[in-house]
C-alpha cells in the first residue's frame, strides 16, 4: 500500500506596510536596535544578511561616499 503525502505548501512571508515599519522603529527604545532596524529596512537586507554585517576597521574611499560592501562567504 502506497501512502501519498500531500506536497508541502510554501507560504510567502508577510510584508510589513510602511506604517507598520514606522510603528516598529518608533517603539524601539534602545538606539542600537533602532539603528539595526533602520539599516536593515533601508538597505532591503534579509535577517541573515543584516546579522553578517561587520564593522570594518579600515578607512577606504568607500567610507567617504557612504557605501557599504557586504561580503557573503561561508566560514
**Per residue in 29-75, pLDDT tens?**
999 899 889 888 888 888 887 887 766 545 455 555 566 666 656 55
Q: What is the mean pLDDT of residues 2-20?
A: 86
Q: How confident is the model at residue 15 (pLDDT cuts 50, 70, 90)?
A: confident
User: Residue 24 — left, alpha, or beta (φ > 0 → left; ψ -120 to 50 → alpha)?
Assistant: alpha
CB-based contacts of 70, cutoff 8 Å, min separation 6: 45, 49, 52, 53
Total residue length of the chain = 75
Amino acid at each position: 500500500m502506497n501512502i501519498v503525502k500531500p506536497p508541502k505548501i510554501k507560504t510567502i512571508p508577510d510584508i510589513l506596510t510602511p506604517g507598520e515599519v514606522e510603528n516598529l522603529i518608533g517603539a524601539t527604545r534602545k538606539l542600537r536596535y533602532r539603528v539595526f532596524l533602520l539599516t536593515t529596512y533601508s538597505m532591503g537586507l534579509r535577517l541573515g544578511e543584516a546579522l553578517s554585517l561587520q564593522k570594518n576597521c579600515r578607512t577606504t574611499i568607500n567610507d567617504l561616499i557612504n557605501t557599504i560592501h557586504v561580503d557573503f562567504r561561508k566560514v
